[in-house]
Amino acid sequence: MLEGALNPSSLVIVAVLVGLLPTVVAVVTPFLKVSIVLYILRNAFTTQQVPPTSVVNAIALIVSLFIMAPTISAMMEIVQETGFQGGGLIEILQSTQNISQPILDFMVDNTGLTEINFFLDIRELVWPADAQIRFNEDSIFIIIPSFVLSELKSAFLIGFLLYLPFIIIDVVVSSVLITIGMQTVNPNVITIPLKFLLFISIDGWTRLIAGIIGGYS
């Protein structure tokens, strides 16, 4: 529960945090990875707006919530046990840090050592010595960018694997049309149904979502 009254300056801070919430959700949850994979899949289908952007984002959000369910449950337990300390900036930051610890643990568990070491090395080049000591590998300033980079690498790897069979269909259909002298026919008229058929026949949605979810510990 909320403990302590919020003063005007604290209310401004809370308002700013709420405004940043969509961006925070996108970068500290699987939403970034899932949405990129779905957009790549849509481009591979060459269907432009099918499924619509709002549907893609909704699917990404639902899958992200499913993956984050244990983490969200852990955060709710912390809130029930300790409450949310309001009143001053220090209290708000401390409460936020306590509640967000399960998210940090989730990101650490799903971030590769390569990405963490990369930002640790970059830190030595751009940060002063006192900042390097203050913000080590357990700091959010290392964990969050490392997690984002790890998610981007994983998303594009999945996207590459998704694109391969569809590219083969595009090449084969285009070659056949040229061979039989039907260059004026738009290849998408044939390739899009074939791509749908291939994706449905292998139960593509189930396999794709299961593969994404299975990549998280």
Q: What pLDDT was estimated at residue 2?
A: 46
Q: Which residues contact 153 (CB under 8 A, 6 or more apart)?
A: 112, 115
Q: Say what the pTM is.
A: 0.81
Buried-exposed string 182-205: b where 16+ CB fall within 10 A, e elsewhere: eeeeebeebbbeebeeebeeeebe
What span, in angstroms and rounded, lies between the C-alpha atoms of 182 and 121? Answer: 56
- Give the model confidence (pLDDT) of 28-80 as tens digits: 889 999 999 999 999 888 887 788 888 999 999 999 999 999 988 888 887 77
